[in-house]
Amino acid sequence: MPSPSSLLFSTIPIVCLLFNSCFAAPHPCCPGSQHLVALMTKYIGTFSTGRDESTVCANAESVVNAIKSELNSMPECQSPNGGGSGIMGEIDAQLTTSEHMKMVITNDDGCAYNLGFARAMFDMAKSAAGHAGNGTEWDKLTKDFGKQIDAIDTLSTELTIFVPKVLFKNPRSANFAHKKVPSPSDVRTNPGEYSAAN
């Protein structure tokens, strides 16, 4: 019969593997993170400062409608936290529970909601990119997502539009296997093809 100390040492690697997996609500699973990065890469450069409110709001509405359409077609994954519908549900829940957002939605002005939704998606993509890969290309992509977040924050200040922030838990630190995910261009071409085991 194995000793208690040998049993303890044999369970440590299993526990470590579980903690290094991609579970962090409401974050998508690892292949889902790749789909999310590929999706949001298309919208880098969409938001820039110095635009009038009607242009910003129309742009935000167009972008959010396109993102939601793509999220609806995102493949489901094994994690209960994953899938495009889960992402949309969590963002909607946080945006619509803010007292200010309830007032905005009642007044049929969706600009703050759309900017908040786009900001949340860029924030999640930034986190996913930082989690999925390593190297200068991934660092640049993470910074590009961050610049879009900064642009939305600046626009909300310039135009006095209150944009609530959606809060996400960060994915657990990427382990060695996650850092083997190839370059962002590979992920954009074949999102979801690279698991932590690749």
Question: pLDDT digit string (tens) for 138-149?
Answer: 889 999 999 999
144 versus 79: which is more confidently predicted? 144
197 in a structural domain: no
20 in a structural domain: yes
| CA distance linking residue 116 with residue 99, whole number of Å | 14
Q: Say yes or no to pLDDT of 107 above 70.
A: no
Q: Which domain holds residue 29?
A: 4-189
50 in a structural domain: yes
Nearest of 35, 25, 29, 47 to residue 148 by alpha carbon = 47
Using a cut of 0.75, tell me whether the model's pTM lies above it: no
Question: pLDDT digit string (tens) for 22-62?
Answer: 433 334 446 667 778 888 999 999 999 889 999 999 999 99
196 in a structural domain: no
Length of the chain: 198
How many domains, the chain? 1
170 in a structural domain: yes
73 in a structural domain: yes
Question: pLDDT digit string (tens) for 109-154?
Answer: 689 999 999 999 999 999 888 776 677 888 899 999 999 999 999 9
Q: Say yes or no to pLDDT of 198 above 70.
A: no
30-41 and 111-132 helices, crossing angle to 10°: 120
Of the pLDDT bands very low, low, confident and very high (cuts 50, 70, 90), residue 188 is low
Q: Say yes or no to pLDDT of 186 above 60.
A: no
195 in a structural domain: no
Torsion angle of the four alpha carbons 15, 20, 23, 26, in this order, in degrees rounded to the nearest 10: 140
172 versus 19: which is more confidently predicted? 172
